[in-house]
């Protein structure tokens, strides 16, 4: 009798959890459909076919302006059409700024097509061509977007007017045992849990990863969360992460220096003085004591000195060879966070605008 009673209790608990999971799962799908409707109604949706899938293409600014500036976002960046525009608005009066979301990002379709650098660049080119945006373009990549921009400008230099790299991943050659062939474990686990509808984790995780931004309107904040949640659901983003080392190697090995003007804005490695570091909030002492293997009693001058040496080493040993292999690439320092367009939008816009204007003096 006791065994039967215990079995009934366990069965009731299991059934209750299944019902709760089903409710959360259904509610999640309903919410996502409403998010899609909201994004469409508020002008965030414009799908353009690139073959077996479509990608979202949003244009701002002056269609008859001097230049067509094409954003190439970093890994997992779901909303450059929102977060970048604090920077790009300053360029839109005289230029057209186009945001092309890769497959799996935001409202762009998911795809089973391999996320090789060749296929990703082909998607960008097809999307712009099919949208009627004619070359040449000024490419504006951030983070791993630099891989795709580097491939593009080397493979099709006649299509590119200039490239401005915003703290992009510094491309280098990987030896086989350094290459990563699996996606980031934390991102993959979160993706798998959310796909199973486990407790509606997606919405909670997105809000944890993306704190509210005081400069967004309520509708913009809702749009950011919706675009992030849609991105979080797609296997194409996982596939892109898996191919990152491969794509970096392919790009490095095919780079051919050319005369297309290029500017590399170094943010994370752009610090030259202790005063610059302090102005940006200083260093997290515990983190960098461990990073540089320093004793707990090391003074701040030693810690800051080591960090500045590290920045200079990265510029000299990694960024400079990358810039040399690109050809005609200038490196400028704008010290700050990796997402420099968000941290210092006005300063970043000025550097970009001044560079573009200089090209045509």
pLDDT tens track for 253-264: 999 999 999 999
The reply to whether omega before 175 is within 30° of 0 (cis) is: no
Distance (Å, whole) CA 131 – CA 140: 18
Above pLDDT 90, what percent of the chain?
Answer: 66
Distance (Å, whole) CA 16 – CA 12: 6
Give the tens place of pLDDT for each residue, 88-118. Answer: 999 999 999 999 999 999 999 999 999 999 9
Q: Which residue has the higher pLDDT, 67 or 15?
A: 67
Q: Is the pLDDT of residue 163 over 70?
A: yes
Distances (CA, A) of 216 to 211, 225, 229: 11, 12, 17
Q: Which residue has the higher pLDDT, 12 or 37?
A: 37
- pLDDT, average across residues 282-304: 89
Token pair belonging to 164: 């401005």
pTM exceeds 0.85 for this model? yes
* 74 — pLDDT class (breaks 50, 70, 90): very high
Q: What is the pLDDT of residue 186?
A: 57
**Least confident window among 184-198, 205-219, 333-347:** 184-198
Q: Is the pLDDT of residue 190 over 70?
A: no
**Least confident window among 84-88, 192-196, 203-207, 208-212:** 192-196
Q: What is the pLDDT of residue 197?
A: 47
Q: Is the pLDDT of residue 120 over 90?
A: yes
Q: What is the pLDDT of residue 198?
A: 42
Which distant-in-sequence residues (6+ apart) come within 8 Å of 164 by Cβ? 138, 139, 140, 141, 262, 263, 265, 352, 355, 356
Q: What is the pLDDT of residue 185?
A: 60
HSE at residue 181, side-chain half, CA atoms within 13 A, is: 4
**Least confident window among 6-20, 156-170, 272-286:** 6-20
């Amino acid at each position: 009798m006791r065994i039967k009673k215990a079995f009934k209790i366990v069965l009731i608990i299991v059934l209750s959890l299944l019902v709760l999971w089903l409710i959360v799962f259904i509610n999640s799908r309903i919410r996502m459909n409403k998010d899609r409707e909201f994004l469409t109604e508020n002008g965030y949706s414009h799908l353009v076919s690139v073959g077996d899938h479509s990608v979202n293409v949003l244009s701002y600014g002056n269609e008859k302006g001097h230049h067509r500036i094409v954003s190439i976002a970093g890994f997992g960046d779901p909303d450059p059409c929102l977060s970048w525009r604090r920077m790009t608005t300053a360029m839109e009066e005289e230029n057209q700024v186009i945001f092309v979301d890769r497959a799996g990002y935001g409202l762009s379709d998911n795809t089973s097509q391999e996320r090789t650098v060749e296929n990703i660049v082909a998607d960008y080119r097809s999307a712009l061509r099919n949208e009627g945006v004619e070359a040449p373009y000024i490419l504006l990549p951030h983070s791993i977007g630099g891989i795709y921009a580097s491939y593009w400008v080397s493979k099709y230099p006649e299509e590119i007017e200039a490239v401005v790299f915003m703290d992009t991943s510094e491309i280098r050659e990987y030896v086989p045992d350094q290459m990563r062939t699996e996606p980031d474990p934390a991102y993959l686990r979160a993706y798998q849990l959310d796909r199973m509808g486990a407790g509606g984790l997606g919405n909670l995780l997105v809000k944890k990863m993306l704190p509210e931004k005081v400069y967004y309107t309520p509708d913009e904040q809702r749009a950011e969360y919706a675009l992030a949640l849609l991105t979080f659901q797609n296997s194409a983003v996982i596939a892109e992460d898996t191919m990152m080392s491969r794509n970096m190697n392919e790009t490095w090995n095919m780079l051919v220096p050319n005369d297309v003007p290029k500017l590399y804005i170094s943010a994370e490695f752009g610090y030259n003085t202790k005063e610059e570091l302090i102005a940006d909030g200083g260093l997290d002492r515990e983190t960098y004591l461990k990073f540089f293997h320093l004793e707990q009693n090391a003074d701040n001058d030693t810690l800051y000195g080591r960090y500045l040496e590290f920045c200079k080493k990265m510029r000299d040993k990694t960024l400079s060879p990358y810039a040399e292999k690109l050809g005609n690439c200038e490196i400028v320092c704008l010290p700050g966070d990796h997402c420099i367009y968000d941290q210092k939008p006005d300063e970043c816009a000025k550097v970009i605008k001044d560079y573009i204007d200089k090209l045509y003096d």
